[in-house]
Amino acid sequence: MSSVSETTEPAVSGDPSDGPVPPAEKGVTDVPHRPGRLRRLAALARREAPRTALAVVSGVALALAFPPYGLWPLSLVGVAAFALLTRGRTVRQGAWTGFAFGLPFFVILLKWLHVVGWDAVIGLSVAEALFLMLLGAALAGTSRLPAWPLWAACLWVAEEWARDRLPFGGFPWGRLAFANTGSPFTPLAALGGAPLVTFAVALAGTLLAGCAVALWGLRGGGRARAAVLAMECFGLAAAVTVAGAAVPVPTKADDTVDIAVVQGNVQQPGMDFLGRPMKILDNHATATEKLAADIKAGKARKPDLVIWPENSSDLDPFQYPQAYDRIDEAVKAVGVPVLVGALVDHPTKKGYVFNEGIVWDPKKGPGASYTKQHPVPFGEYVPFREQLSKIITRFKRVPRNFYPGDHTGVLKVGPARLGDVICFEVAYDEIVHDTVDAGARALVIQTNNATYGRTGQPEQQLAMSKLRAVEHGRAIVTAATSGISAVVAPDGTVTRQIPEFTQGVVSARIPLRDETTLADRVGAAPEWALAIVGLLSCAVGVVISRRGRTETEKGKQ
């Protein structure tokens, strides 16, 4: 205690002749004044504002690479800019840059959700941007490693691997591969699926960033070495971009089948697309009966099978006799099997329904069916319904939960063995892969995009079908209630399509194929391998960073 009094006494006492001594302010004599937290945050914001603004612009650029805009070269620009903005930064700075990059990207990409509500757009965009925040941190942490563009490309695959699976089964929208379904990178899908396309796009983009870094180095010494490095990076980026041209895309048919896709249309777009009961079913039945009349009059070729879209029957045909009879009439009129989309009540679980594709035979009636395996969380079922419905009343508009199926959708429809995939399932690698692996000779995407009509979402989903066609070497038939219904050849070319909100029938002869691609045979192995390499590079970055700090501290001592 005496030592304390000795140190503090001079601060509060003095010679009386000098006049009264003002009391010392707490902390002023020993510690320099530190700016307040708000002042420090304001300074940080000013310092990071230019980089944050560039990250926002880069995220917007990446969003414009996706349909409905389809400017795929911007995917390279977005990746390159993101790599430059995170290079040499701390992990925290990289994380912030990643979030600033990811939020506008997803807001523009997912703006079709505004039909549900802009809060849904922002909420989902924030959740998805958190994955890019982690990616930004990882890119920053590995940017000082040798061969950093390679590790960056692997980290893009790792980020998509996580986002495709978490949470609630993931949400794969916005994968780099889905912006490159008509680019020089597309054929690579036949070798390693969507993950390999993402890897190639990310590698080419990051190599362009490496070229920019090298060109910037020309300002200082070692100009010859910087020039060589810039040319090497640019050359490698160009080589990766055109590598797809050397990949064979198998398209030879083992057999063919004549199909007709019926797009019946809906009463109105938006959340209330169903309209009055039986309206959508009657639209599809009427269009099918018109096709039957054209066949009888010799105006159209009789198909081997007909495909209706998801939810083409707006009532459960097994619970409502009028729905059953209306389907049966239309199927008998056309005289060939019809793949019908319907919601069917769960036989034992009250409040649950199956989202099914049902093979309806003109003689035998309903037969084999496929149940959607991956219902959409918060759209087709509500996790934690009892708790969340009290907070978000909009969830009451999802009165029943969709019950997931437990097997792939390989169905014998007339003479063809088709693989049925329902709506958003086309975005998930494993579902489409398992369907082809089970013996599908062509793929059918039954979908209902009426809620999101004229928002760009149907174009985004059709782009996924184009990539899957190349990945699996299969013709893909997309059947939509309100559009876009289309036929995609095994090389990813759209050969037929019906515009949105138009009732019509598209007929085509599609190839049936038994040969599998290398992507089919290797499955998810490339994705796992690339993701693991990316995560290992993060671990190496952490070790090197800690070692550097330790050596610095020792040097100071």
**538 vs 360: CA distance, rounded Å:** 53
Provide the residue type at 524 as one letter. Answer: A
- 227 C-beta neighbours (distance < 10 Å), count: 14
Bridge partners, residue 345, by sequence: 353
**458 vs 361: CA distance, rounded Å:** 29
Catalytic residues: 310, 372, 423
Give the pair of three-digit tokens for residue 166. 């978490």
Give the pair of three-digit tokens for residue 5. 């009094």
| Strand intervals (E) in 92-204 | none
**310 vs 288: CA distance, rounded Å:** 15
Give the pair of three-digit tokens for residue 151. 């590790």
**470 vs 194: CA distance, rounded Å:** 10
- Report helix angle 91-109 to 37-63, nearest 10: 50
Peptide bond into 68 cis (omega under 30): yes
**349 vs 317: CA distance, rounded Å:** 18
Provide the residue type at 166 as one letter. Answer: L
* Whole-number Cα distances in Å, 556 to 125, 259, 553: 45, 77, 5
- 538 C-beta neighbours (distance < 10 Å), count: 21
Give the pair of three-digit tokens for residue 37. 């937290």
**123 vs 95: CA distance, rounded Å:** 19
Three-state SS string across 233-283, please?
A: HHHHHHHHHHHHHHCCCCCCCCEEEEEEEEECCCCCCCCCCCCCCCHHHHH
Give the pair of three-digit tokens for residue 6. 């000795």
